[in-house]
Amino acid sequence: MSDRLLFWIPTLIWATTWHAILYQLGETSALHSVALRFGLASAMLFAIAHWRGELTAQWPRLHGWLFFTGAVQYGFNYLCTYESEKHLASGLVAVLFSLMIFTNAIGGAICFGQALTRRFLWSGVIGVVGVALIFWPDIAAASAAPGVLLGVGLAMSAVLLASAGNMLTLKLTRQGVPLVPLLAWTMGYGSATLLLVATVSGVKFRWDSDPSYWLSLLYLSAFGSVTAFLLYFKLAQRQGAGRAALVGLVIPAIALVVSAVFENWRPTVVSALGIVLCLAGLWGATRPDSTPAIDPKV
């Protein structure tokens, strides 16, 4: 599959998951919903790995790292994200998550010796400004919200955890763990982590009888987790974690188009300018540039 498809397929999928998650906000708690999402995704990935003959016992020594990666990437990352949205508007959380362009790029430079170019960094800044403009009303109202500093702290913790999970996943693939069983184990461990947190916190499971809840859960598991993460990490393996994180610039813009169709959202001049800047940042970041801003060999 081409790098272009590896970029755009998970981008389009994750842009639509924003709307799908709305159907998850029912009787079942967020902790249990996310645990169900990744537990179901894990089962699907194990089935694929079994069909491909990739379930072997040649790396049992790595299960400690698999558990740690799953807890970080699919457990505490999502826990911090959901908790941050109790104190911040989802738009501001999206802006903070677009900073993964930089945390992933820096992580790639430190862990894998991937050079950073000035063009990439400046294009990333332009893209993040674009995301901020898209959600400007949320940002402007954030200062008046109670617990805003706690929310920002939780969201930034989620960003750092997500980037750490990216680095750990890519590190494990370089140690010989095939990507499909790797994601199967880590998503399973992430689901188990969330269930443990729910149990310790005394959050009881409540069955949601609405069919839309279970249909959206199936979509989030099969496409938002299995398909999107598989293609995203394949892209990260080929082009580096920083470039893969560029999906965060485009997802908000596409998500707003979905919102306009299904939720009657109407664009403004400021949000339209933000979308233009997001696309300009993406274009600039993907242009060739041989001048490193940070050379990992130094």
Is residue 101 a contact partner of residue 282, using CB atoms and an 8 Å limit? no
Residues 135-146 pLDDT 10s? 777 666 665 566
Amino acid letter, residue 41: A
291, with CB counted inside 10 A (0-12, 13-18, 19+), is: exposed
Of the candidates 102, 83, 253, which has an alpha carbon nearest to the alpha carbon of residue 163? 102
Give the residue carrying structure tokens 């990490």. Answer: 233
3-state secondary structure of 292: strand
Backbone angles phi, psi at 122, to 5 degrees: -65, -35
Cα separation, 45 vs 230, whole angstroms: 10
Q: How many CA atoms lie within 13 A of 200 on its CB side?
A: 6
**pLDDT per residue as tens digits for the range 147-179:** 777 878 888 898 899 999 999 999 999 888 899
User: In whole numbers, what is the pLDDT of the chain averaged over residues?
Assistant: 83
Rounded to whole angstroms, the Cα distance separating 28 from 244 reads 32
Question: 269: exposed, middle or buried (C-beta count within 10 Å: 0-12, 13-18, 19+)?
Answer: exposed
pLDDT in tens, 239-294: 888 888 888 878 777 766 766 666 566 667 887 788 788 778 877 877 765 555 54
Q: Where are the alpha helices (DSSP H) in 175-246?
A: 179-201, 211-221, 228-239, 241-244
- pTM tops 0.75, yes or no: yes
What is the largest distance, in Å, between two alpha-carbon atoms of the chain?
58
Q: How many angstroms separate the CA atoms of 36 and 195, rounded?
A: 9
Task: Please give the pLDDT value at position 280.
Answer: 85
The predicted structure's pLDDT at residue 193? 95
pLDDT digits (tens, 9 = 90+) for 14-56: 888 877 777 887 888 888 999 999 999 999 999 999 999 887 7
Note the pLDDT of residue 89.
Answer: 64
| Torsion sign over Cα 65, 70, 73, 75 | negative
State the average pLDDT over residues 220-248: 90
Q: At residue 298, does pLDDT exceed 50?
A: no
Q: Is the pLDDT of residue 70 over 90?
A: yes
**For the chain, how many structural domains are there in total?**
1
Closest CA to 132 of 273, 12, 7: 273
Joined together, the tokens standing for residue 187 give 């998503």
Domain carrying residue 78: 3-294
Task: Supply the pLDDT for residue 296.
Answer: 45
